[in-house]
Amino acid sequence: MQGFSQVSVIGLGYIGCPTAVVFAGRGINVVGVDLNENTVRSINHGEAHIVEPGLDEIIRAVVASGKLRATTRPEPADAFIVAVPTPFLENHAPDLSHVEAAARSIAPVLAKGNLVVLESTSPVGTTRRLASILAQERPDLRFPLSDTEEVDVLVAYCAERVLPGKILYELTHNDRIIGGLTPACAERASELYKIFVKGACFQTDAATAEMIKLAENAFRDVNIAFANELSTVCESLNIDVWRMIELANLHPRVNILQPGPGVGGHCIAVDPWFIVHSLPARTQLIANARQINDSRPAQIVNQVKAALEKLPGAAIACLGLSFKADIDDLRESPAVKIVHALQQETTADLLIAEPYISELPRLLAGSERARLVEADDAVRRADIILVLVNHKHFYSLGAAELAGKILIDTRGMFRGIFSSETGTGQKWQRSGSASAGAAR
């Protein structure tokens, strides 16, 4: 079987861009395709349009060596990797319009012997749907839509599994699950990924591979919902949920995740709905978990309102806006939702600290009551400290800065500071909440 001399990546976002870059880093000629001209321009200048550790340096190198080039229109290649967004619609139905548009855009340049791989997280059956669209658009080519046919273009599914913040490491080191529409499709796609993947490449059918990706993220969502539910229970029972989880996890077969202000990002808060939407009557657990996690921001807002009743007119320091620690990504961030609700539903001054951004997102900008400030400044000037993201930057804050303030710590970041158990600080008096404590 021939090698791959040119690979095309369709969609240069958080996954497509690093994937294009690592292929190019292995000496493959890569053409990245994106509808967004700014993205294309920025990549062709050797600059990353997303913040991800290490990405800038590699883009600069592979663009300078001529191995990576970006364009807005697909060109012929040996393999096409489709990494476009798959959001959901208002009723939680998957929106596959970007996958369908990508299929139509590559169809004219497809040739006999090509491989097409779908990487976007997708409902079961989407790889087959993509192949059907290609078949409609190119009746002159044979696609793997039945077991027996000889085929001209091979089609497979292979989801990314990388964690934002560690994308380059995980892209090469994580195992990959490769699902072919036929075994030959899976085999050919494995050959492609083995160019840069140091982990193992496991082959299966496309539907199983699609389901695996959804199951992985639903697993995490359900487990985070469990932690969040425990947090609500502990709050009512006046138990420190963080300490409880820490001690429970000493059991050799228990590994409870961390409660928080909700689940953000564009994956875990979205993908479980693809399973629920396909079989609503059989997915109560997954649907409930989604609802539990989605209800967290409103619970936190209520905790803040209760604190404001004790301290009318207090300013609130909101620490963090991103959807998780040490990244700049604000998409679907529960922190943004909480700060926005506080802006709408209270009259408090909001001193927002987010070290990864230089201006407030549009949703929060334009109000005199919401300002982006340094974390230590926010904490000094506020009486209520709302910890929304456990960024490393905030660890320099300690008992001295927080003393005398009402602390609502949704990440358990400062637990222990005022706890008598540490023996180091002043006793933390709970104010009827496991995650909200008053250090006064």
The footprint of ligand SAJ (CB under 6 A) covers 121, 160-164, 216-217, 220, 224, 257-258, 260, 263-265, 267-268, 323-324
Sheet holding 29-33, edge to edge: 68-71, 29-33, 6-10, 79-82, 115-118, 154-157, 176-180, 201-205
| Structure tokens, 381 | 């000037």
Q: What is the closest distance, in whole angstroms, from the C-beta atom of residue 60 to ligand SAJ in the complex?
A: 25
Tokens of 432: 């009827």
- Give the H or E element holding residue 231: helix 206-237
Residue 323 token pair: 């959807």
Both tokens of 15, joined, read 């996954």
* Distance in Å, CB of 108 to ligand SAJ, minimum: 30
Rounded to whole angstroms, the maximal C-alpha distance in the chain is 76
Helices (H), 238-363: 241-248, 271-278, 284-310, 334-345
The residue (of 92 and 220) whose beta carbon lies closer to ligand SAJ is 220
DSSP annotation of 280 reads G
Contact yes or no for 9/84 (Cβ under 8 A): no
Q: What distance in Å separates the CA atoms of residue 341 and residue 386, rounded to the nearest whole number?
A: 13
Strands 176-180 vs 154-157: parallel, antiparallel or unpaired = antiparallel
3-state helix, strand, coil in the chain (%, to 5): 40, 15, 45
Report how far residue 434's alpha carbon sits from residue 258's, in angstroms, rounded to the nearest whole number.
Answer: 13
Q: In what order do the strands lie in the sheet with 436-438?
A: 370-372, 350-353, 316-319, 384-387, 406-409, 436-438, 429-430
Query: What's at 211, amino acid-wise?
Result: M
Tell me whether residue 198 is one of the annotated catalytic residues: no
CB of 366 to ligand SAJ, least distance (A): 25
Give the residue with the Cβ less far from ligand SAJ, 123 or 265.
265
Nearer to ligand SAJ among residue 7 and residue 224 (C-beta): 224
Please, which residue, 324 or 415, has the CB nearer to ligand SAJ? 324
Q: Which is nearer to ligand SAJ, 161 or 440 (CB)?
A: 161
Q: In whole angstroms, how close is the CB of 259 to ligand SAJ at the nearest point? A: 7
Q: Which residue, 212 or 403, is less far from ligand SAJ as judged by CB?
A: 212
- Least distance in Å: CB of 111 to ligand SAJ? 31
Question: Of 67, 158, 201, 213, which residue is the catalytic one?
Answer: 213
Task: Name residue, tokens 């993201």.
Answer: 389
Is the Cβ of residue 134 or residue 270 nearer to ligand SAJ in the bound state?
270
**β 370-372/350-353 pair status:** parallel
Catalytic residue list contains 267: yes
Query: Least Å distance between CB 210 and ligand SAJ?
Result: 13
Q: Please, what is the minimum distance in Å from the beta carbon of residue 220 to ligand SAJ?
A: 4
Name the catalytic one among 267, 324, 337, 405. Answer: 267
| Residue 11 Rama label (left phi>0; alpha psi -120 to 50; beta) | left
Residues taking part in catalysis: 213, 267
